[in-house]
Chain A
């Protein structure tokens, strides 16, 4: 009885929310005053960046992105602190299996290609769709493939931690340099260059490359930590 009541209540609530949101009509041009036009105009005119999404994420609302990067960093830290006591010695895994020779041979071939694709995605974040977060995730999948294919493949935690820290310091440091050389935090202080060049957009590509390294290091760290978690069943 109680469960049915809860389901009915949730259904009612869901219906109410759904009708509200369908009424909004997303994708239709129904506000005149918003900030969107300024974003579209200023991205090309004053930032010389081809990808508006990147310009919004890294420049107009770069402070949010710094926050999101921190959220990921904290999530990894918290995960590490929770799983700390449950970790095996290096090289011992909770998931034990041997992969077939097709996987081992193929992953060796694919690994450099995945890394290259990831690097391409975050280096060209201001020109084409994609960016630091997406590129970083692609790189982390490359490491996941290697960890799945080779039993004794290991990634140095110290190196991951150093990469992570340096990338984070780069982001926050560029923000502070903006405060020193410009007037406000995260302000662009480099020449913006020519639209559609790799070297354009001022600080935007630098920040996105730092984000790419950071996300790649953090997600690799997460995969590695979870893979080496000591399960309850095998001790």
Chain B
């Protein structure tokens, strides 16, 4: 063992407080230190995940008080897998944005990297914590970093997008607090395992209301229809790498929270069917909206919302195959959507309106970036032999196991819509008949190029050898399904 799970929170916090001091010594340190922290955390995450695969989950208690008195962190195969993806993606986002917008001064750069690091830390905290109020605190950390990053360009539009996000985020926090209040007033505890252990003693009225409040609150963060009004604006106004961070990290953490509440804590019948319905609605409406978008980033944002709907549907099957498919989708979405956001922001770098219509013939001017964008587009639609194919296939088989033929056909139909709007963009990139775009292109910097190539390589690797991830995915989904084991593991810890 190289460390304990609490270091995922403690080290970035320490670094965040240190960065302003380090910046006074040497300005470049504010860019370098977050990267070093993320590299360390990635090594830690991989090591701990390796340990967890063999020896079972690590439960860490904090301040010396065993649960349910104190707060505890749970690093299981399920949460560890998500933490590893998030930190890996966070590291790539850091690498990509290291020289993004060279002309940014010292002060904004310091704040950008600080907020980005805390965005990742907050999301990791949401996944690791075993306490509902502690999760609220981490949701706040993530939220405030996200509002700050959305308004990073300090323009009128980005301020509006950030304000919208702030308002909805505040409503989410209020609902979350109300739900936590109900739970505490009925059971007198905040520990997830302890709640799960005694939830059957709770009055059903209060149980349902608190579950509704939890889902409303987390649904805002997880971009579930109809609570996702903030998302397209925030994605299109925030800097490109931040869009990737929202899609790949923040939304994943919120989806995790919903899943944790429904799978582990609450025992409400029908919650799974509710997930399927709400997921299907989100998927269909988001994809319908995506096909009408004229701006590239808004299209990617709607596509991202749709993917999250599909993830919820897969979780809603409630079977181990369903969870496996959902986790596979989350992994692929993290990799592919980041690649699309990264390459997409270079394709429309100097364009004022960021329109898809302005992208004609960029395939010749920016061959590698365009190629990678096309690769990402094919992968996210689910064409073989790319990574997205396997996850979509596993969703369909999970649906087939549950005899949900109607859901299967809807998913296939929506994939067709996806195919149309992604091919529309790819077609413009390689279309030489129409007049080529007159907009000055921006060549990607070396580190951005490396990041995109790494992501592209991963898409091909998972596409050709899905076995590299399936082992971890099976363990992770088994860990989520075994609720009694989770409760036992946490509550059996003694001081």
Q: Interface residues, chain A, CB within 8 Å of chain B?
A: 17, 20, 24, 26, 30-36, 38-39, 42, 59-64, 66-68, 70-71, 73-75, 77-78, 80-82, 84-86, 158, 161-162, 164-166, 168-169, 171-173, 175-176, 178-179, 182-188
Q: B167 on the interface (CB 8 Å rule)?
A: no
Contact in complex: B133, A61 (CB < 8 Å): yes
Q: Is the interface of B mostly helix, strand, loop or mixed?
A: helix
Q: Are B185 and A26 in contact (CB under 8 A)?
A: yes
Chain B 159-183 interface 0/1 with A at a Cβ cutoff of 8 Å (1 = within): 1001000000000000000100010
Indicate if the CB atoms of B178 and A17 lie closer than 8 Å.
yes
B151 and A82 contacting across the interface, CB-CB below 8 Å: yes
| B114 contacts chain A at the CB level, 8 A cutoff | yes
Q: How many A-B residue pairs have CB under 8 A?
A: 168
Contact across chains for B18 and A165 when beta carbons are under 8 A apart: yes
Q: A61-B133, A78-B148 are in contact. Are A172 and B10 (CB under 8 A)?
A: yes
| Residue-wise interface mask of B (87-119) relative to A, using a CB-CB cutoff of 8 A (1 in contact, 0 not) | 000000000000000000001100110110010
Does the CB pair B154–A70 fall under 8 Å?
no
* Cross-chain pairs A/B with CB under 8 angstroms, 18 sampled: A31-B185, A60-B63, A66-B13, A67-B137, A73-B16, A73-B17, A78-B148, A82-B151, A84-B108, A84-B111, A161-B21, A165-B17, A166-B21, A179-B4, A184-B60, A185-B63, A186-B62, A187-B63
> Inside 8 A of A81's CB, which chain B residues have their CB?
107-108, 111-112, 115, 148, 151-152, 154
Q: CB distance A63 to B62 under 8 Å?
A: yes
Q: Pick the contact of A172: B13, B134, B144, B185 (CB < 8 A).
A: B13
Closest to A80 in B: B111
* Max chain A C-beta neighbours (<10 A), residue from B24, B118, B137: B137
Cβ-defined contact, B107 with A84, below 8 A:
yes
Shortest distance between the CB of B449 and any CB in chain A (Å)? 28
Residues A33 and B14 in contact, CB atoms below 8 Å apart: no
Q: Are B186 and A60 in contact (CB under 8 A)?
A: no
Q: Let me know if A78 and B16 touch, CB within 8 A.
A: no
State which residues 10-42 of B face A: CB under 8 Å: 10, 13-14, 16-18, 20-21, 24
A64 and B71 contact, CB distance less than 8 A: yes
CB distance from B26 to the nearest CB of A (A): 15
Is B125 positioned at the interface, with any CB of A under 8 Å from its CB? yes
* CB-CB under 8 A for A31 and B118, given A77-B148, A78-B111: no
- Residue from A26, A36, A78 whose CB has the most chain B CB atoms within 10 Å: A78
Find out whether the CB atom of A63 lies under 8 angstroms from the CB atom of B186.
no
Most chain A beta-carbon neighbours within 10 Å: one of B16, B115, B206: B16
Q: Is the CB of A84 within 8 A of B154?
A: yes
3 tightest A-B CB contacts, nearest first: A34-B188, A78-B148, A168-B17
The answer to whether B68 touches A175 (Cβ under 8 A) is: no
CB-based contact A70/B10 at 8 Å:
no
Query: Which of the residues B108, B134, B162, B189 comes within 8 Å of A35, measured between beta carbons?
Result: B189
Partner of A188, one of B13, B64, B147, B154: B64
| Nearest CB of chain B from residue A144's CB, rounded to whole Å | 23
Residues of B with C-beta under 8 A to A168? 13, 16-17
Q: Which of B21, B115, B138 contacts A78 (CB 8 A)?
A: B115
A67-B138, A80-B111 known; A169-B17 Cβ under 8 A: yes
With A20-B205, A74-B148, A172-B14 as given contacts, are A67 and B64 in contact (CB-CB < 8 Å)? no
- Number of residues on chain B facing chain A (CB within 8 A): 57
Closest chain-B Cβ to A31's Cβ sits at a distance in Å of 4
Could you tell me if A70 and B16 are in contact, using CB atoms closer than 8 angstroms?
Answer: yes
| Complex interface: chain B residues within 8 A of A33 (CB) | 187-189, 198
A-chain residues with CB within 8 Å of residue B410 when the two chains form the complex: none
* CB pair B20 A165 closer than 8 Å: yes
B359 interface residue per 8 A CB criterion: no
In the bound complex, do residue B125 and residue A67 qualify as a contact, i.e. CB atoms below 8 Å apart? yes
Interface pair B20/A161, CB less than 8 Å apart: yes
| Least Cβ–Cβ distance between B414 and chain A, in angstroms | 30
Q: Within 8 Å CB of B64, what residues of A?
A: 178, 182-184, 187-188
The answer, yes or no, to whether B6 is at the interface (CB within 8 Å) is yes
User: Contact at B186–A78, with CB atoms within 8 Å?
Assistant: no
Residues from chain B with Cβ under 8 Å of A184 in the complex: 6, 60-64
Other 16 A-B pairs with CB < 8 A, given A70-B13, A158-B24: A17-B178, A24-B206, A34-B187, A34-B188, A63-B63, A64-B134, A67-B125, A71-B140, A74-B148, A84-B107, A165-B18, A176-B10, A176-B14, A178-B63, A184-B6, A188-B64
State the CA gap A182–B60 with chains docked (Å): 13
In the bound complex, how far is the Cα of B140 from the Cα of A82, in angstroms? 18
Alpha-carbon distance A172/B118, docked complex (angstroms): 14
Task: Enumerate chain A residues within 8 angstroms of B151, measured Cβ to Cβ.
Answer: 78, 81-82
B65 close to A (CB within 8 Å): yes
Contact B69 A35 (CB under 8 A): yes
Chain A residues with Cβ below 8 Å from B115 are 74, 77-78, 81
**Chain A nearest CB: distance from B233 CB in Å?**
16
Provide the bound-state CA to CA distance between A63 and B65, in Å: 12
Using CB atoms, name the residue of chain B closest to A185: B6
How many Å from the CB of A16 to the closest CB on chain B?
Answer: 8
- The chain A residue sitting closest to B22, CB to CB, is A165
In the complex the two chains form, is B111's CB within 8 Å of A59's CB? Answer: no
Q: When chains A and B are docked, how far (Å) is the Cα of A38 from the Cα of B209? A: 28
- Complex Cα spacing A168 to B114, Å: 14
Residue of A nearest to B166 (CB): A78
Q: Mark B424-456, 1 if CB is under 8 A from A, else 0.
A: 000000000000000000000000000000000
Distance, CA A61 to CA B190, complexed state (A): 11
Which residues of chain A are near B182, meaning CB under 8 Å?
Answer: 20, 24
Say if the beta carbon of B338 comes within 8 Å of chain A.
no
Query: B64's closest neighbor in chain A, by CB?
Result: A187
- Specify the chain A residue showing the minimal Cβ separation from B105: A84
With known contacts A20-B205, A33-B188, A64-B71, A59–B16 Cβ distance under 8 A: no
B386 to chain A, nearest CB (A): 37
What residues of A have a CB within 8 angstroms of the CB of B154 in the complex? 81-82, 84-86
The docked-state distance in angstroms from the alpha carbon of A71 to that of B60 is: 23
Task: Specify which chain A residues have a CB less than 8 angstroms from the CB of B17 in the assembled complex.
Answer: 73, 164-165, 168-169, 171-172
Contacts of A169 in B (CB 8 A): 14, 17-18
* CB-nearest residue of chain B to A37: B188
Map CB proximity to A onto B69-99 as digits: 1 under 8 Å, 0 otherwise.
1110000000000000000000000000000
